[in-house]
Homo-oligomer: A and B are copies of this chain.
């Protein structure tokens, strides 16, 4: 069993698998699962971790934690895709963070052994997967929130910009 360790202020993790998707161009990858409906993909978990997937198929949605393996160098202030204004990187989901960790909520279509078939995949192909957690409504669905600069972006604009030009022909929700 490979384990993470903390040494001299560094934290080391080892991928538990890889995410496969149709997204090979960072510029055309939707920014969130909610804007990636119809983008199918899968998580291929390494054989030694398959036992840890038991009962995961009971959950409709998963939180994937992964390494932004193609992230640019760190920028503490960024202009996010959804708005033409600068924000602190921790106020955004941009990849250019001090620790380039990505988080996506995706739909689990089905589990086939150690392969998780997913919908709403907003993740680049071959991204190293670090952790999987179940999305649990009673923990993760916060009913009333104040959403900072995101409130200044109207929903049609968010949907249009959030999709970032991925091919809508695979998208059952797209207009004909």
Contacts and interface: CB of A to CB of B under 8 A. Distances in A.
Interface string A101-116: 1010100000000000
Given A65-B65, A67-B11, A139 B55 contact: no
Interface in A65-121: 65, 67, 69, 73-74, 76-77, 86-93, 97-101, 103, 105
A142 B76 contact: no
A123 to B, nearest CB: 14
Contacts of A61: 142, 145
B13 A11 contact: yes
Nearest to A122: B139
A45 to B, nearest CB: 8
B16 A13 contact: no
Nearest to A9: B14
A99 B137 contact: no
A142 B135 contact: yes
